[in-house]
Amino acid sequence: MKRTPHLLAIQSHVVFGHAGNSAAVFPMQRIGVNVWPLNTVQFSNHTQYGQWAGEVLAPAQIPALVEGICNIGELGNCDAVLSGYLGSAEQGRAILAGVERIKAVNPKALYLCDPVMGHAQKGCIVPQEVSDFLLQEAVAKADILCPNQLELDSFCRRQAQSLEDCADMARSLLEHGPQVVLVKHLAYPGREADAFEMLLVTREGSWHLRRPLLAFPRQPV
């Protein structure tokens, strides 16, 4: 009998709409993943609306909750940790401590970092200290890194000029720790405007995916 994978999902939650864990948990459950949601923030809505209510989880809560899972004998069942939107750099450091704790119990566990950074045009607001943490600390600890185009450019400190350039930049990040880099939304100059593109890079090769882009007047969150 195939074992059910267990994943600790540490990212945001919104009451209205779907973003972070409120978007990711259900699809992962539908494909057979046992998701353990840990919400970094609980906001009324996505920050793209320009105003929101809610709170950021105290950083100390993250290792405390991880240790609570350990105390009931379940932490060794954690196969992967996913981190997304962070409310503070201290939250990020607490997540890295949690990842280290999990890997001490299960050395095969993977850490997937979705390095969510601020994007003014999309209304995504992230403190600068969070971006600094992702650029300077998180990348070295991630087994899998999933930047978008803005984040890829930020990691490499330059703007990609072509698909080949994106592949080279993603490949360069493998030298800093990750085993896999998935660029989840390519936006290089000259890209077809009616297509949505992704790029997966490992030390063994590169894979490029293109599909029709479904345009929305605003991000569906």
Token duo for residue 53: 């209510």
pTM of the model: 0.93
Going across the sheet that includes 34-43, the strands are 54-56, 34-43, 6-14, 80-83, 110-113, 144-145, 180-183, 195-202, 206-212
Domain boundaries, the chain: 1-142, 149-221
pLDDT in tens, 52-72: 999 999 999 999 999 999 999
How far apart (Å, rounded) are the C-alpha atoms in residues 134 and 155? 9
Give the CA distances from residue 217 to residues 63, 110, 214, 221, in Å, rounded to whole numbers and listed in that order: 40, 36, 10, 12
Q: What CATH number matches the domain at 1-142, 3.40.50.720, 3.40.640.10, 3.40.1190.20, 3.10.180.10?
A: 3.40.1190.20
Q: Would you list the DSSP string of 131-165?
A: HHHIIIIIHHH-SEE---HHHHHHHHTS---SHHH
Q: Strands 34-43, 80-83: parallel, antiparallel or unpaired by DSSP? A: unpaired
pLDDT in tens, 104-152: 999 999 999 999 986 656 656 788 899 999 999 999 999 999 999 999 9
Give me the percent of the chain exceeding a pLDDT of 90. Answer: 84
Max intra-chain CA distance, the chain: 53
- Cα–chain-centroid distance for residue 3? 24
